[in-house]
Chains A and B, each alone.
Chain A
Amino acid sequence: MAIASNETAVSNSRFIQVLIYLTLLLFALFYLLPFGIMVLNSVKPLAEITGGNMMSLPVVFTLEPWAKAWSTAQIGVEANGLSPYFWNSIKMVVPAVTISTILGAVNGYVLTKWRFRGDTLIFGLMLFACFIPFQIVLIPMARILGLSGLAGSTPGLVLVHVVYGLGFTTLYFKNYYQVFPTELIRAAQIDGAGFFRIFWRILLPSSGPIIVVSIIWQFTNIWNDFLFGASFADFDSQPMTVALNNLVQSSTGVKEYNVHFAGAIIAALPTLLVYIVAGRYFVRGLMAGSVKG
């Protein structure tokens, strides 16, 4: 992202430039180091880790820890690896992200283009959701899940994440639609388009960047969530994060660090992938509305 072009950048001497880049490089390496070590150790046999230096390159290259973490590692009482939990996470994340994004978009649309009495108050209350710590909602949420019969199920987790994410997605879409010209809505009304037709045909096709922001944000948060997963999931609906914890914390036998590393990487991979694929839209979407043009 070259935010400052040649014309706007303050010109500085070659020495300072080199210094800046060196510092940046150093920091980048520093932040990449843990991930690098994880990757290195996930492709070593266990003996190399326990018997030697964690920092050294693998002598024998093996993908066996990856295979084990994925399909045969002991997690809880079962020895079927992380794969079932990976699919649990997917089954939870995809509907939760989709529903919260769609609802957020509709909320943003209503709050900016179909204003009603008390709408700012309602928006304020929704914003509140962004600032409430997870722990506060645990008990009320458990009660609601219990009453609705969704406790310990994937739909229950989807509900929790949709409710919790709604504040953020609404905020994103509201800010985005705030600067969307109202005359377009009026023109569409005169043309005879109704509430949903305007949303579907006029607003949504112009919402690409903010949809990406919402998806990345929600995907990352829901995928990485541990607390709700640990609190509200059953054995057969546990998400990846909880399973990873169980894998690493299991107290029987030898600690298979290489398998743990591989498992941790597998758990982090989807969010990494989403960010790499859609990251540039993320920044663009966050900037939209704040900067004109």
Chain B
Amino acid sequence: MSFLKIENATKSYGSVEVLHKIDIEVQEGEFLVLVGPSGCGKSTLLNMIAGLEGITSGNIHINGRLMNGVHPSKRNIAMVFQSYALYPNMTVGENITFGLEMHGVPKPERDAAMARVANMLQIDQLLDRKPGQLSGGQRQRVAMGRALVRDPDVFLFDEPLSNLDAKLRVDMRTEIKKLHQKLKTTTVYVTHDQIEALTLSTRIAVMHRGYVQQLGTPQEIYDSPANVFVATFMGSPAMNIIPAQVVMAGDHPSIEVKDSSGKPVSLRFSHPGLAKWKDREVLLGIRPEAITDVEGADRKAQNVQTFTNLVDITEPAGSDTFVTMTLCNQAVIARMRSDIVVAPEQHFEFAVNMDKAVVFDPQSEDRIQLD
């Protein structure tokens, strides 16, 4: 029996259905990230788990208990909000223990719990301050302290890092991960940031337009995206999606694309099963890091295809250099080593790790399963 179970959950506002039959099961100790663009319904789903929003149909169980209609405070959950939602009139210490006070925990116990949490988050010296006197990062810690002190069944995070500056965001991300490794509390975390999703989660639910597009481990999501939306949403820069033709080279399928001069380039496909799609259009998906120079190609790759093409733009980004070229009239980005010698307006020999290539059905935009 899973720890958090969302069964056929839908949400409607009037006649508009915003979440459609969501089914997610989370095991105890898992870190589930709900990720998607704004308006995809991820925060609504989180609020439904919290009990802050009603559920139109379906069921939500937490720790074996049916939660439909149960008040948020009786679900044994704790939530960290995007704005931190610290009570402005209370000190940090009062903020942290307010929930315990409301649940009738006696003062000595509250103080002990507060001391433990303050120590864990290194906010001991802030306990007498008001939230208005804290920096963004400190507020974030206090908000987490308020959640931790409850010792809940499930932690819910609603975009907790989006109000922090870039550097602090990375630090706090690591901190949240560390905390989860230590406490192993089941967590549901909402974000629109795909890097946060990939780094923090044990599993990711990618959401779009009220549907879960794919539910899987970060590796599954990244390497085998279920459809074009997931492929382009997860990963930065996004996966290259190139309209291409399946052709046969002998009895093995190849994918044919056109280079910047319109000349056909044939890329041998790794999986023979693509032969079923002979002479048909597909969408070829290749991650930028699967396109390199010839020396930079992955040595463990079984099937590396090379071709020459005109370089449009080079963008050195410190650790990597992004090289843009044109295939089938579309910009295609390659991620290369920073010390690569490459210049725009010149021809360059690219190497494609076809082991990492995926293909999508151009009609449904779903990934073509070849096994």
Contacts and interface: CB of A to CB of B under 8 A. Distances in A.
Interface of A: 181, 183-184, 186-193, 197, 201-202, 205-206
A190 B83 contact: no
Q: Which of A183, A187, A197 has the most chain B CB atoms inside 10 A of its CB? A: A187
A181 B83 contact: yes
B347 interface: no
Contacts of B88: 184, 206
Contacts of A187: 79, 81, 85, 87, 146
5 contacts: A181-B83, A187-B81, A187-B87, A190-B77, A206-B89
A192 B85 contact: no
A189 B87 contact: no
Contacts of A188: 87, 98
Given A181-B83, A184-B88, A202-B89, 19 more contacts: A181-B85, A184-B85, A186-B52, A186-B79, A186-B81, A187-B81, A189-B52, A189-B73, A190-B72, A190-B77, A190-B79, A191-B73, A191-B98, A191-B99, A191-B102, A192-B73, A192-B99, A193-B73, A201-B87
A259 B136 CA distance: 63
Closest 9 CB pairs of A and B: A192-B73, A191-B99, A192-B102, A205-B89, A187-B85, A183-B85, A183-B81, A190-B72, A184-B85
Contacts of B263: none
Contacts of B102: 191-193, 197
Say what secondary structure dominates the interface of chain A: helix
B73 to A, nearest CB: 4
A184 B72 contact: no
Contacts of B79: 186-187, 190
B25 to A, nearest CB: 23
Interface residues of B, number: 20
B131 to A, nearest CB: 10
Contact of B83 (A183, A197, A202): A183
Interface in B38-97: 50, 52, 71-73, 77-79, 81-83, 85, 87-89
Q: Which of B77, B81, B83, B85 has the most chain A CB atoms inside 10 A of its CB? A: B85
A122 to B, nearest CB: 20
A187 B78 CA distance: 9
B69 to A, nearest CB: 14
A262 to B, nearest CB: 44
B184 interface: no
Contacts of B52: 186, 189-190
Contacts of B85: 181, 183-184, 186-187
Given A186-B52, A206-B89, A192 B81 contact: no
Nearest to B150: A191
A190 to B, nearest CB: 5
Nearest to B99: A191
Contacts of B81: 183, 186-187
B103 interface: yes
Nearest to A185: B85
B89 A190 contact: no
A193 B74 CA distance: 11
Given A184-B85, A205-B89, A190 B98 contact: no
Q: Which of A183, A184, A190 has the most chain B CB atoms inside 10 A of its CB? A: A190
B132 to A, nearest CB: 11
A188 B81 CA distance: 12
B87 A190 contact: no
B139 to A, nearest CB: 13
A190 B99 contact: yes
Contacts of B77: 190
A183 B143 CA distance: 12
Contacts of B146: 187, 191
A292 B139 CA distance: 20
Contacts of B87: 184, 187-188, 201-202
A184 B82 CA distance: 11
A266 B78 CA distance: 57
A188 B102 CA distance: 9
A189 B78 CA distance: 11
A11 to B, nearest CB: 34
A78 to B, nearest CB: 49
A112 B296 CA distance: 60
Contacts of B78: 190
